Chains A and B, each alone.
Chain A
Amino acid sequence: MKKRGKVVSFIEDLKNGATDPYAYVERALEEASRKDPVLNIFITMKSEVPDKLVNGKLAGVPIAVKDNIVTKGLRTTCASRILENFVPQYSATIVKILEREGAVIIGKTNMDEFAMGALGTTSAFGPTLNPINTKLSPGGSSSGSAAAVASGVVDLALGSDTGGSIRLPAAWTGIFGLKPTYGAVSRFGLISYADSMDQIGPMSSNASDLAYLFSIISSFDPLDPTSSHNPWGNRIEEIASKEPDFDLLRKLKLKIPRELLNHPQAEEYVIEEFWRKISTLEKEGAQVEEISEPILLKVPQVYYVIAFSEASSNLARFDGVRYGSRIAELEDNDWDSYYMMNRSLFGWEVKRRIMLGAFILSKGYYEMYYSLALKARAVIKRKIESHLKDGSLIATPGSLISPLPINYDATDLSKLNAIDAPLMIANLGGFPALTVPTGSVSGTPTSMQFVGPSWSEDKLLSLAKVMEEMFT
């Protein structure tokens, strides 16, 4: 049986007058009010169905939006006390697109504070729990968006991915997630963490709806100077509605980085399951080649040097003068002490990253760390491009390790290296990357990640449809 997208089907039914236009949103709000008290999915949640629905490609479709994307009139906190009561006066371009197309934003989802974290546990509003097992982390930083989809509240959510923040939670909750090519989706109105890597992307319960949402949100935005025109025309929307293209498998070339599969922290069952799926794809015609790139194990270290540095600059704007929470009295403080007191509202992970960034960018360390990391980034990008230039995709497990406990001590850097290394390649190079669920082992979801050359989302999303049909 061919799988159909739930959103795609709803929109078709709506056109044919075969469904109540309010039914989808009503159900989502009901589910949200039932699941949120258990899972802590939302920071701000809507409770009422809108009086009027807008006609468009997403008319009456409920969607959850990560709380680092600004929404006019709707509180946007970045999961931080410093923005605890911040109500934006404008909307991100992507929010305007969703609203123009009739989508109904039912709430702003929980996340790691300022998207800094891999477990969803650095939120000032408490952690989101994994719908599959509430003792486990759902992965971060788009923890609430993943939980909203995985728990069945919505079929569509927006996340952001600076170092795997869409794909890790997708892998750990068993849903689909796409980190688009850098520049494919407008970042205007996305609160920056590390802006040379930040990218908004779709998360969904199924491949068709993932493609459908991406076809709508991927467009050029003059307000984002890094935005680009995409090359696909209607191709992505067609992928959403057409049958899976199994011929793709006969043309598929997969490259598998040996160092990642042999990572000392990788779990045995994850690797075995990965090879089983690769073997199935191979039997269907895919060409598979192992590659060796030792530098990939140092991808997270390169990433962190750049991310800390950019964070220390991007988060300098939060001073409590123009907006944001204030704990210092204006009359009693000079500029510096006012600034320093208000900024003590950042959570520990954010403070730590800003201060490490300040260290890296300071005299004596700038060349040693920052310039070196930028050059290493260029080397990594070039090496990956050389592997992808023959039309190949890089394939890895969606995560080398199982979901970690919600109370996991995140100071164990070797495990975090195993989580980060496969995912951060795409952020350093600006490449698109897709995580698809492939089933489960003893109740734990398994998944695969595919990284393609820039602007290869059409290929990745076609593959997602095929994989969905084969493995779920």
Chain B
Amino acid sequence: MSTKERLVNEELIERLSWLSRIKLSVEERERLSKEIVMILGYIDDILSLDVGNEEITHLSEGRLREDSPIYEIEMGRELLGQAILEEGYVKGPKVFKG
């Protein structure tokens, strides 16, 4: 059994499903277990790269904008047009369990 295969167990799949907030079926769990070994085997190729003291660079520095609204207030309201609304509030699920 390779290191990757040992790493990928039921506990890891459960953790990834939780971290990603994606509910998986039994078949999907099995499929992910197999495919994750294959894909990690592939991307592990980069582990042998010698990057020395390379600095992490960004393609664009980006811009900070003035701290003032750039969108019309109406646009914000419109964006919530597809939420479940109740008495003018967006209705979400319970935050506290139990």
Contacts and interface: CB of A to CB of B under 8 A. Distances in A.
Contact of A302 (B28, B46, B83, B94): B46
B82 A322 contact: yes
B44 to A, nearest CB: 8
B43 A369 contact: yes
A348 B28 contact: yes
B56 interface: yes
A334 B59 contact: no
Contacts, number: 164
B94 A333 contact: yes
B91 interface: yes
Most chain A beta carbons < 10 A, residue from B17, B20, B52: B20
A55 to B, nearest CB: 26
Contacts of A226: 59-60, 62
Nearest to A362: B19
Interface stretch (A157-165, A263-271, A375-383): A375-383
Given A183-B60, A371-B56, A340 B21 contact: yes
A358 B70 contact: no
Interface string B37-74: 01100110111010110111111101111000010000
Given A183-B59, A225-B63, A322-B80, A355 B22 contact: yes
Interface residues of B, number: 54
A54 interface: no
Given A371-B56, A413-B42, A343 B23 contact: yes
Interface of A: 86-87, 89-90, 182-183, 196, 222-223, 225-226, 228, 295, 298, 301-302, 304-305, 312, 316, 319, 321-324, 328, 330, 333-341, 343-344, 346, 348, 351-352, 354-359, 362, 368-369, 371-379, 381, 411, 413, 429-430
B35 interface: yes
21 contacts: A89-B81, A90-B78, A301-B43, A304-B39, A305-B46, A321-B92, A322-B80, A322-B90, A338-B93, A340-B17, A340-B23, A351-B22, A358-B20, A359-B36, A372-B49, A373-B46, A375-B56, A378-B57, A379-B52, A429-B59, A430-B60
Contact of A182 (B36, B43, B59, B70): B59
Given A295-B49, A375-B51, 9 more contacts: A183-B60, A312-B20, A323-B83, A334-B93, A352-B35, A354-B20, A358-B20, A375-B55, A429-B59
Nearest to B41: A413
B97 interface: yes
B1 interface: no
A298 B45 contact: yes
B59 to A, nearest CB: 4
Contact of B21 (A222, A305, A336, A352): A336
Nearest to A371: B56
B75 A369 contact: no
B16 interface: yes
A220 B36 CA distance: 40
A458 B87 CA distance: 55
A411 to B, nearest CB: 7
Contact of B97 (A334, A356, A362, A369): A334
Contacts of B70: 222-223
Contact of B79 (A322, A371, A429): A322
Contacts of A379: 49, 51-52, 54
A372 B51 contact: yes
A378 B56 contact: yes
Nearest to B61: A226
A343 B22 contact: yes
Contact of A335 (B42, B62, B93): B93
Which 7 A-B pairs have CB atoms at the shortest separation, nearest pair first? Answer: A89-B78, A338-B93, A430-B59, A375-B51, A226-B60, A323-B82, A358-B19
Contact of B22 (A87, A304, A344): A344
Contacts of B95: 334-335
B57 to A, nearest CB: 5
Contacts of A90: 75, 78-79
B5 to A, nearest CB: 15
B89 interface: no
Contacts of A196: 58-59
B20 to A, nearest CB: 5
Nearest to B49: A376
Contacts of A378: 51, 54-57
Contacts of A356: 36, 39
B35 A411 contact: yes
B32 A352 contact: yes
B13 to A, nearest CB: 8
A293 to B, nearest CB: 13
Given A334-B94, A368-B47, A373-B46, A354 B38 contact: no
A369 B46 contact: yes
B67 to A, nearest CB: 14
B26 to A, nearest CB: 13
B34 to A, nearest CB: 9
A301 B90 CA distance: 41
